[in-house]
Chains A and B, each alone.
Chain A
Amino acid sequence: MQNLDRKKFDALFEKPAGDEKSVIIRGVDIHKVYKMGKQETHALRGATLDVYRGEYLSIMGPSGSGKSTLFNAIGALQKPTSGRVYIDQVDIAQLDTEELAWLRCRKIGYVFQSYNLIQVMTCLENVTLPMSFAGLSSEEAREKGIKILKMVGLGHRILHKPAELSGGQQQRVAVARALANSPDIILADEPTANLDQHTGQEIIELFQQLQRDLGVTIISATHDTKMLKASDRILWIEDGRIVKCARPEEIDFTSSEFGH
């Protein structure tokens, strides 16, 4: 990969004639090895994927298959052991810390699998924190934060601490925080795992609305059939590799794989 001709490689990004889809994230042959003492864990073994601008992509895979690791790699949170990640055609390995921070702050909104809300802060403060990193004044941030929290259905809980909320409510705060700086991309790791049918549906609708109205690219790891059905494309990851790609309409959701 390293020795690949640069021109040839750039050509890969050129839109195929007649296809208006452009690539927003491209991961090429991503490997990730975790070393714990002598023991090595190969979490990713050459994952390659394209994510198109404005699409809603779901990633499926058994537990431990490397979904979160893949998210960290394509979300610029962790350098892969080898392989390349391009966001907006920029190799993120070439970015300096400031540019990476900018990317994480403005370009991508993260919903972490374990939420990672700051426990000592209220919901509103959690949501406005990335806004203050983006330089918003506290009044602006407050206003926008309340608006977003209302949007995810937590308007009545803005001054509660995460510990005082249910798992589903915390998840919605996490989603609200991901939306804070109106990102181009939302990376969501199991965003509906702890939600009941109804709120899960609301999150899905929220994502669809963001995608439709604002052209936000949404990437989410999920087992939720509803989410899979709502997405444009589904990738299967297994043992650190992308093994299958399909559109929801091509899939039989009644098969045993989906627990029916």
Chain B
Amino acid sequence: MNQQSDRTRIPDQVRLPLSVAFGVVIQGLRIRIGRSVVTITGVTCGIAFLMSILTGQLVKMGVTDEDATRAEVGRVISFVRSDLPKLQDKSISVVGSGTLSEVETRVLETISRDFGIASLSFEQGKSPALPRKASAAVSAAASAPSASVANADVVFLMGGSDIPRQDWKPFLDGDLNRVIASTILEADASTVGIAEERFAKLARVLTEEELAKIEKNKRKERFRAIWIGVISLLVTVIGITNAMLMSVTERFREIGTMKCLGALSSFVTRMFVMEASLMGLVGGIAGAIFGALFAIIIYTFTYGANLVFSSLPMVSVLIFGLLSVAAGVVLSVVAALYPARVAASMVPATALRSTI
């Protein structure tokens, strides 16, 4: 019992280390596990709502893109089937440069699956040419990639805007039934020096109208996404604020007691912030998982599992998931901060009388 208090030492003794606050928080969460679960569920619901909306948007956008891609691939393939000489038993060679677009990759896949590809050569020194999906499909079918086009019956030109440098002479001088088909927009018969009737343009130029329509749709989509995002964020904010407000205000009396027993306001605030961020983290992670699963399952019913899973950009889902978890933590802390501040700054005696 120290009779004369050494006042200079007081602040050190009152400012508790973070570990003590953390201990009290963990103990508090464990003790009122039922209440904590209810609050966490509130956060989970909010974040799950947000995440399901975001994932839904991703699915929808992915499905739209996927639909367009599939339509374009279908168009190119049907063109290949109808306008080129029968490809069965023909020696097919693919020459490319740069990176293949998604449509080209799928076309390549389809051709290699249906007819087999004899050789494949891509311009060296360019960016890595084949997406993984296509290279897997092709390497199964193709012989040495360096095989020349000289022996090919049909040559596909694919990839970036550069026309692959190639010695076309042996090909051009050989059998006149041999053709070139190109998905490169900029390439035409004259660039290779082949007769018009032996050159098939698979690429299609979009008309101004089509471009404008796509642009307009995109803008509409973006606006819709932002609008829905804001609304769902608002709903989430309200849900979480409510959960946190309840969890803090019902403990005014307890806070008063703690203050009477020598807890600093800052300690009380810090405790609630820690508690809120913990609950926000747990609720946010659970909510992100539930929300994403919910949206995916729901859209699987409308679009079918195949379309949804092949079009869903997993990286974006993951990023949105992380953002949602962060939102859960931040919103929880912000929502808890105000009532915690109020509670912490109450006069101990007043807080004690609170009957909430």
Contacts and interface: CB of A to CB of B under 8 A. Distances in A.
B225 to A, nearest CB: 43
Contact of B10 (A77, A99, A138): A99
Interchain residue pairs A-B with the least CB separation, the first 10: A105-B262, A78-B349, A130-B261, A77-B349, A104-B262, A72-B349, A102-B10, A116-B257, A77-B348, A133-B262
Interface stretch (A59-67, A117-125, A221-229, A243-251): A117-125
Contacts, number: 99
Nearest to A104: B262
A129 interface: yes
A116 B354 CA distance: 11
Contacts of A117: 257
Contacts of B267: 133
A100 to B, nearest CB: 9
Contacts of B257: 116-118
Contacts of A16: none
Contact of A106 (B262, B349, B352): B262
A102 B258 contact: no
A78 B258 contact: no
Interface in A123-161: 125, 129-130, 132-135, 138
A184 interface: yes
A185 to B, nearest CB: 10
B254 A118 contact: yes
B248 to A, nearest CB: 14
Contacts of A184: 1, 3
Interface residues of A, number: 40
Interface of B: 1, 3-5, 7, 10-11, 13-17, 20, 23-24, 27-28, 31-32, 253-254, 256-265, 267, 347-350, 352
A177 B261 contact: yes
Interface of B, helix, strand, loop or mixed by DSSP: helix
A215 B11 contact: no
B31 A116 contact: no
A78 B350 contact: yes
A133 B23 CA distance: 11
B258 A120 contact: no
Contact of B31 (A125, A130, A133): A125
A104 B11 CA distance: 13
B13 A79 contact: no
A110 interface: yes
A135 B146 CA distance: 75
Contacts of B253: 116
A101 interface: yes
5 contacts: A97-B265, A102-B262, A106-B262, A120-B31, A138-B23
B198 to A, nearest CB: 85
Q: Which of B13, B32, B267, B347 has the most CB of A within 10 A?
A: B13
Contacts of A121: 31
B264 A98 contact: yes
A102 B14 CA distance: 6
B27 A125 contact: yes
B254 A101 contact: no
Given A101-B263, A135-B13, 6 more contacts: A97-B264, A105-B261, A106-B13, A120-B28, A134-B262, A135-B16
Contact of B13 (A88, A104, A125, A134): A134
A77 B16 CA distance: 21
B347 A77 contact: yes
A107 interface: yes
Contact of B261 (A119, A129, A138): A129
Given A102-B262, A130-B262, A78 B32 contact: no
B348 A104 contact: yes
Contacts of A116: 253, 256-257, 260, 352
Contacts of A79: 347
A201 interface: no
Contacts of A132: 16, 20, 23-24
Nearest to A214: B1
Nearest to A121: B31
A56 interface: no
